[in-house]
Amino acid sequence: MSVIRHPSTGTAVTVKQWRYTATGGETTLSGTDGFGLSLSYTVGAEEVYINGVLLVRGTDYTASTGTSITGLTALVAGDVATVMSANSFNVANAIAASTVTAKGDLIVANGASSVSNLAVGADGTTLVANSSASTGVSWSAGNPIANPIINSCFDIWQRGTSFTVGTTTSLYTADRWQSSRAGTAGLTVARQATGDTTNLPNIQYAMRLQRDSGNTSTAAITNWTNLETSNSIPFSGKTVTFSFYARAGANYSATSNILNAELYSGTGTDQNVNVSGFTGANQVINQNFTLTTTWQRFTYSATIPATATQLAALFISNPIGTAGANDYYDITGVQVDLGSVALPVRRNASTLQGELAACRRYLPAFAGNGADPYMGYAYGTNTTIYGFQFDVPARVAPTGITTSGTIQGYSLNTATTITPTFNAANVNGASILGSLTITAGQGSRLLIASSGLILFTGCEL
């Protein structure tokens, strides 16, 4: 018997040698050899030599029992018969085949030098990294549905980039988002550059909700977005993960630096109300989390009721004391994913142009550049009408307008600053009226200054 090493693993392999000197006429080898070793071999792993010449398995002999060799040509007295056989062996650190139990199972690491079985996922699911799973990966429902949170990274601000939230019930700020402060002033909402490529996945903008320095009101600061029914229903009855990035200012004043995050469902249709006013309002997720001055990602999973027809994401801060100079929180990357894993940050649309188009479905907007006019005419003495074609069909026909900046109507080459009023609209376009000195039937043009803006309202949600 000798010991050799497996050439690739170094594992010890025992080779047995059975050696017998013939007395003459033997056609079978078995029993003990001249050294008292019983013949045994692993079938298919044996080698038979006669006087040092290797015989051919299946032609020169038969080896099928593990204890005897048959079918030999009769030996001559003095012939030396040798049977060599390696024992079966296990490669060091080999993974047992029994680790997997079904078609499609995967062998995955659950720690250093430790593996386990990950059962095959359901049809159509996708394997994703998941640091909270014991194996570091898990099956996700895939991502056939876009992130339903439009303007989730706060890239689009058609109304402006800074707002003073007063005593109104709510105020639209960034597209698709509303803010309020329980009827109390002292809140500024503004676009903020994130300025962080270390803790954020290259998101450019965030929304900042800041209590004005010196403000003593402790009224709650609320920020939310309502989802249209058509964007909500695909999640009904499904497990979802609600995720976002957030950080606090140096003087963030909520007790224990807490911010509250909620995901609501409702059973109404396209309701544009504070989410607690949803028909069948239900808090699917209601979590408090602790902010630091560094961006963190927070993720929470839950199951949406099967009867849900509308969703909304909501954030609430409850300040205390007197506001310092940096009493704010920033938020961005708000996302809802199917399944129990937060996928990498993604917007509702694949491009910023697509995200802008999604926002304009709810808010057709026309910003001026001080050079390109909109054409109209005087349909009566001193009354002009101007038409606007929407680049994206509105959700519903607008019912009004809001304007800002300088807007001028022209009679021939004479400009008059006007305050336009709403006339009529459908989902594809709208018209407005202006008042200036002009003769009926005369052509007119409307010029919006570079700081001016015309927004068609009434199709928000």
Chain segment 164-216, per-residue pLDDT in tens: 998 767 899 999 999 998 778 899 999 999 989 899 988 999 999 999 999 99
* AA letter at 196: D
Tracing tokens 């499904």 back to the chain, one arrives at 238
When mean pLDDT is compared across 6-10, 244-248, 410-414, the lowest value belongs to: 6-10
Burial label for 360, CB within 10 Å (0-12, 13-18, 19+), is buried
pLDDT value at residue 144: 65
Phi, psi of 208 (to 5 degrees): -110, 125
Other CB atoms closer than 10 Å to residue 400's CB: what's the count?
A: 12
Phi, psi of 230 (to 5 degrees): -65, -25
Is 98 in a helix, a strand, or coil? helix
CA-nearest of 228, 190, 216 to 394 is 228
- What angle (nearest 5°) sits at the alpha carbon of residue 307, between those of residues 305 and 310? 85
Length of the chain, in residues: 461
Give the DSSP H or E segment for 190: strand 187-193
Burial label for 35, CB within 10 Å (0-12, 13-18, 19+), is exposed
C-beta separation of 143 from 126 below 8 A: yes
CA-nearest of 190, 164, 185, 181 to 222 is 181
When mean pLDDT is compared across 101-110, 172-181, 319-328, the lowest value belongs to: 101-110
- Cβ within 8 Å of residue 3, ≥6 positions away: 12, 13, 14, 15
Q: For residue 4, name the pLDDT band (cuts at 50, 70, 90).
A: very low
Q: What is the mean pLDDT of the chain?
A: 91
Q: For residue 97, name the pLDDT band (cuts at 50, 70, 90).
A: confident
pLDDT value at residue 123: 77
Q: For residue 142, name the pLDDT band (cuts at 50, 70, 90).
A: low
Query: Strands 443-448 and 178-180: what pairing?
Result: unpaired
pLDDT value at residue 91: 62
pLDDT tens digits for 400-455?
999 999 999 999 999 999 999 999 999 999 999 999 999 999 999 999 999 899 99
Domain boundaries, given as residue ranges, for the chain: 2-86, 97-140, 162-359, 365-457
Looking at residues 37-49, what average pLDDT do you find?
Answer: 93
Cα separation, 149 vs 147, in Å, equals 6
Cα separation, 282 vs 300, in Å, equals 16
Looking at residues 231-256, what average pLDDT do you find?
Answer: 96
Phi, psi of 304 (to 5 degrees): -75, 135
The alpha carbon torsion through 110, 116, 122, 128 (nearest 10 deg) reads 20
* AA letter at 263: L
Tokens of 296: 């963190």
Cα separation, 451 vs 455, in Å, equals 13
CA-nearest of 392, 330, 314 to 359 is 392
CATH number of 162-359: 2.60.120.200
DSSP for 136-174 reads SEEEE----S--S-TTTT----TT-SEEEE-SSS-EE-S
Tokens of 280: 């069948």
